[in-house]
Amino acid sequence: MDVDLIFKIAAVGILVAVLNVLLSRSGREEQALMTTITGLVVVLAILVRQIASLFSLIKSLFGL
């Protein structure tokens, strides 16, 4: 868990945003939507692992 997680998520986000604009400009709205959803799922999969490790740290630290 470090600074590079933020850059990873930002890179995926900007890539997805650019692809979304490109695909929707070329008239492929469905593929643009699919790209957005795929990007969201990928980032969510990364984030869930980090949230799990944060919560396990909180659990062990505060004795929950």
Partner 1 sequence: METLLKAAAVCIPAAVFAAAMKKDSPAMALLLAAAAACVTLYLALGAVTETAAFLGELADTAGISSAALSAVMKTVGIAVVSRLAADVCRDAGMSAAASAAELAGTAAALFAALPLMRTALSMIGGML
In the complex, the residues that contact partner 1 under the rule CB under 8 A are 1-3, 5-7, 9-10, 12-14, 16-17, 20-21, 36, 39-40, 43-44, 46-47, 50-51, 53-55, 57-59, 61-64
Helix (H/G/I), strand (E/B), else coil: 27: coil
Please give the torsion angle defined by the CA atoms of residues 12, 49, 1 and 11, in that order, rounded to the nearest 10 degrees. 0
Shortest distance, position 32 Cβ to partner 1, whole Å? 11
Nearer to partner 1 (CB atom), residue 27 or residue 41: 41
